[in-house]
Amino acid sequence: MGIVTLKVNGIEARVDESWTLLEALRFLGVEIPTLCHHDGLTPYGVCRLCMVEIEEKSGTKLVTSCLYPVKEGIVVKTHTDRVVKGRRMLVELMLARCPNSKTLQDLASKMGIENIRFKMKNEDCILCGLCVRLCKEQMMSGAIGFIGRGEKREVVTPFRTKSEICRNCGACMYVCPVVELPCRGYNPQGELCNSCLRVVPECADEYGQIMCYLESCGSCVKKGEMNELVKT
Amino acid sequence: MKKIKNREDLERVRKRIVKKSDPNKPCITISSGTCCRAYGCQKVTKAFITEIEKQEIRDKVEVKTTGCLGFCERGPIVVIYPKGIYYQRVTIEDVSEIVTETILNGKIIDRLLYIDPVSGKKFVNGEEISFYKKQMRVLLKNNWLIDPNKIEDYIINGGYTALSNALFKMTPEQIIDTIKRSGLRGRGGAGFPTGVKWENCRRANGDLKFIVCNADEGDPGAYMDRCILEGNPHSIIEGMIIGAYAIGSHEGYIYVRHEYPLAVKNLKIALNQAREYGLLGNNILNSGFDFDIKISIGGGVFVCGESTALIASIEGKIGEPRAKYIHTVEKGLWNKPTNLNNVETWANIPIIINKGSKWFSAIGTEKSKGTKIFSLVGKINNSGLVEVPMGITLKEIVYEIGGGVLNGKKFKAIQTGGPSGGCIPEKLLDLPVDFEKLKETGSMMGSGGMIVIDEETCVVDLAKYFLNFILDESCGKCIPCREGTGRLSEIVERITSGKAKIEDLKLLEELSHVVKDFSLCGLGQTAPNPVLSTINYFRDEWETHIKNKTCPALVCKELIQYYVDNGKCNGCGVCKNLCPQKAILGELKNPHSIVQDRCISCGICHENCKDNAIILSSPRGKN
């Protein structure tokens, strides 16, 4: 088992050479958003949120960290302008497709997306393929799969009828990143929620007390600090 | 047919075939590519055979069908050897005249000759026509001489000499070195050095290796690979055998799209003939080297031209690409080292082996060597396939080979690289064509499509066309390509229908850059190129669509309006009868008028009015 050295956001780190870049970054505590990744499944690389920038001699290039094997001496930047801008646009695109997903709404709030510039659709699925891979790789069933191409792509059982090999185990539902309903925010369903960004919770005297739906987003603390700034 | 046993036997067979054929015997060759078949060349061929039998001169004349001659504008083309008389647009009615006048009496029929539209000069010999004269036909040269269904024709023209030289005089390393030094780069679009790829594949671990020929050519308006597949399939087979020997592979695949039935048919015949001659299969020419080729037919998905999607398709999986951080030369087909090259790349191999790397690298620019076939189409006088040395300027291609823009209209731009490419405006026409220079302009070489557009083409409409093509052909696997191109198309649709705001243009650019940066495969990464390059060079045209709601080229249907010029209309009623919407009213011999609410801007009235009384205007709402 070899060890390779890489530079992540300016800090040198040593990681296992058999890892993917995403595994290494998460091991190092760098937060990388993903929707199609699951530790127990083969990486698929379709949500594109995990993309990071790698510096090369000829300039920088974007790579899919969930698929990219770590290499000796690579210089990684995880939150450059180009990456953050792209991630925001991707979440905006996904949210415009599935506005009723809590995961996507939370991601949007976390990234500070405050308006959606596309016409809202009302789909349920972002076609991340987690359910398809879980059913095949872990449940050894393969009861669902993709059909159609491009915009017509969807996840279905063969011939859209009840599959004979489906054991109703519910693993597909369990793994789905967008199936959760959103919390009730200011805006009606089907629009951007952003309630976490707007509310100033009473609990926000100290950072540790925050109990909002976002993990350590800190927006309420930020708002509290802003209020104090305004006062002084 | 007896198998060719060894190298000396091949030369004996070649000599025997040469001895049998008489170079002075009149030979009528009829171009029979797919385009000429659409013109009815098969009927012409039949007519020639019946005519010759009728005149009882079967022993004196040979009739041969060849592949595409490139000048598709003028098909079907008949060339009569040994003089090389070039007749164009030949119909069944001309056949008996050609046989009696030209073959028997040696007279030239004037009306079938090509007349240069610019100078008005007539040409007897095809090679002298300006369309061909400026070209450098290395790969396409044999298309004139070879019946693709006869291996003998290929052998007589020096076929399989490169193979016997490679097998008996060169080691695999020497072959790879020759290809590397020649500077040949992949002709599929990316331009990766072929020799380096071969070397990587040879070095890759694994006893079982595959080689693949990518013949899944899907760009709208591009058909150079089809022309080689149909007209000279043995050149690809020979190239592949040499490649397989160099890499150490014993199994090859040709992935052809099923929209090319003639190519598949000719390939199958060629493969069988090569096997019968012992040039393919076990112990090729007694060298101890085994290699065979299978044909895999695509299901009609554009993205299967992408190497990883193509490999998935051969394996019987859904044709979807994957990330290429582990290259196909290491893990490709069935996870074995796989070397994949384009049709044109394979066809170049025998030529490089025969003529040497020095000869090849003398052609072209510093980093792009050799010749490249482009399919020159669109609003141009001479459309067809052109093979030119790298480094030729776009101006030479458009004006000297292409004969300028159709109907004397003004040149606006040239679109290269198919749906992944971009538009190059008039000010950059002096640009030498090579991989790097085209990329600098925001376009790309691609597989070699060149579409000329004139002042009557709207760049926004063109970008919309390519965007919708990509949207239709996106596999839908990754989000930026599936959702992104959908939204791009939505915004462009808003612009062409006059509902957009100026912020939409900003959003369009922003989204385009994200799709370009974040997509999984080459299809998505290049999808916004038509949009970005047209915004780059024709920003005012995009802005006019948004701000003034006008289409300067008068193309975008929802921004234009047809009306009748009362002064010119003589009330003939032609437009009234043709209008599918019954939107034209008026009495006979009195000026007509168009009911705008019913009009769908189909333009039938405009096309059919003899007095040019139907006038187009943009924006809507005038008159």
Residue A208 binned pLDDT confidence (cut-offs 50, 70, 90): very low
Residue B8 predicted with pLDDT over 60:
yes
Residues of B in contact with A97 (CB under 8 A): 483
Share the mean pLDDT of chain B: 91
Q: So what's the pLDDT on residue A200?
A: 56
Confidence of residue A181 (pLDDT cuts 50, 70, 90): low
Which sequence spans correspond to the domains of chain B? 24-129, 151-361, 371-457, 460-547, 560-617
Closest chain A C-alpha to B299 CA, distance in angstroms: 13
pLDDT tens digits, B10-22? 899 999 988 888 8
- What does the pLDDT read at residue B189? 82
Tell me the chain B residues in contact with residue A149 when contact means C-beta distances shorter than 8 Å: 301, 473-476
Decide if domain B371-457 falls under CATH 3.20.20.70: no
What is the domain partition of chain A in residue ranges?
3-79, 130-175, 199-232
Mean pLDDT of A24-30: 93
Answer whether B563 touches A (CB < 8 Å).
no
Nearest by CB: A151 against B326, B476, B511: B476
Is residue A213 scored above 70 in pLDDT? no
Specify the 3-state DSSP secondary structure of B205.
coil
pLDDT-above-70 percentage for chain B: 99
State residue A99's pLDDT score. Answer: 87
| B208, B430 Cβ separation under 8 angstroms | no
Nearest CA in chain B to A52: B518
pLDDT higher at A186 or B453? B453
Helix (H) or strand (E) holding B297: strand B292-297
Interface of B with A in 320-379 (CB under 8 A): 322-323, 325-326
Asked whether the beta carbons of A22 and A65 are under 8 A apart, the reply is yes
CB contact under 8 A, A46 and B507: no
Chain B, 263 to 322: residues with Cβ < 8 Å from chain A are: 301, 318, 322
More confident residue, B118 or B235: B235
Topology (CATH) of B560-617: Alpha-Beta Plaits (3.30.70)
A223: confidence class by pLDDT, cuts 50, 70, 90: low
Rounded-to-integer distance, Cα B343 and Cα B253, Å: 12
Q: Can you tell me the distance from the alpha carbon of B509 to that of B505, in angstroms, rounded to the nearest whole number?
A: 6
Per-residue pLDDT of B292-301, as tens digits, reads 999 999 988 9
- For A178-198, give one letter per residue: b (16+ CB within 10 A) or e: bbeebeebeeeeebbbbbbbe
Contact between A89 and A51 (Cβ < 8 Å): no
Task: Report the sign of the C-alpha dihedral through residues B139, B143, B149, B150, in that order.
Answer: negative
- Chain segment B163-184, per-residue pLDDT in tens: 999 999 999 999 999 999 999 9
How far does the CA of residue A93 sit from the closest CA of chain B (Å)? 6
Structure token digits, residue B493: 């649709």
**Looking at the predicted complex, does its ipTM rise above 0.90?**
no
pLDDT of residue B58: 85
Give the whole-angstrom CA distance, residue B36 versus residue B78.
11
CB–CB of B482 and A68 under 8 A? no
Rg (chain B; Cα; Å): 27
CATH 1.20.120.450 fits domain B460-547: no
Q: Kindly state the average pLDDT of the residues B509-535.
A: 94
For the residues of chain A, what is the DSSP string, one character each?
--EEEEEETTEEEEEETTSBHHHHHHHTT-----SS--TTS-----S-TTEEEEEETTEEEEEETTTPBP-TT-EEESS-HHHHHHHHHHHHHHHHH-TT-HHHHHHHHHHT-----S-----S-----HHHHHHHHTSS----EEESSGGG-EEE-GGGS--SS-----HHHHH-SS-SPPP--SSPTTS---HHHH---TTTTSGGG--SSSSS--HHHHHHHHHHHHH-
What CATH number is given for A130-175 in this structure?
3.30.70.20
User: pLDDT band for position A196 (50/70/90)?
Assistant: low
Residue of chain A nearest B319, judged by CA positions: A149
What are the tokens at B386?
């052109």
If you classify domain B24-129 with CATH, what class do you get?
Answer: alpha beta
Segment B549-589, tens digit of pLDDT: 999 998 898 898 998 888 888 888 899 999 999 999 888 88
* Chain B residues within an 8 Å CB radius of A47: 478-479
The CA distances from residue B300 to B113, B215, B257, B297, in Å, are 39, 12, 6, 9
- What's the mean pLDDT in B103-123? 87
A90·B480 Cβ contact <8 A: yes
pLDDT for B621 equals: 67
Q: CB B479 to CB A126 under 8 A?
A: yes
Bridge partners, B594 (sequence order): B584
The DSSP secondary-structure symbol of B6 reads S
What's the pLDDT at B312? 94
Contact B484 A69 (CB under 8 A): no
Q: Which two tokens stand for residue B525?
A: 């990464």
| C-beta atoms of B473 and A67 within 8 A | no
Q: What is the mean pLDDT of residues B325-338?
A: 92
Local confidence band at A183 (pLDDT 50, 70, 90 cut-offs): low
The per-residue pLDDT for A220 is 52
CATH number, domain B151-361: 3.40.50.11540
**pLDDT value for A210:** 44
Residue B351 structure tokens = 């030529």
Q: Is A121 near chain B, with CB under 8 Å?
A: no
Q: Do A86 and B518 touch (CB under 8 A)?
A: yes
For residue B103, pLDDT over 50 is answered with yes
Three-state DSSP state, B73:
helix
Other CB atoms within 10 A of residue B147 CB? 18
Residue A182: the pLDDT is 63
Q: Which residue of chain B comes nearest to A125, CA vs CA?
A: B479
Cβ–Cβ contact A67 with B under 8 A:
yes
Mean predicted confidence (pLDDT) in B39-43: 91
Side chain identity, residue B583:
A
Closest CA to B28 of B72, B94, B74: B94
pLDDT at A214: 52
Residue A61 has pLDDT above 60, yes or no: yes
Query: Tell me, what's the pLDDT at B622?
Result: 52
Class of the domain covering A3-79: alpha beta
- What integer pLDDT is reported at residue B623 of this predicted model? 47
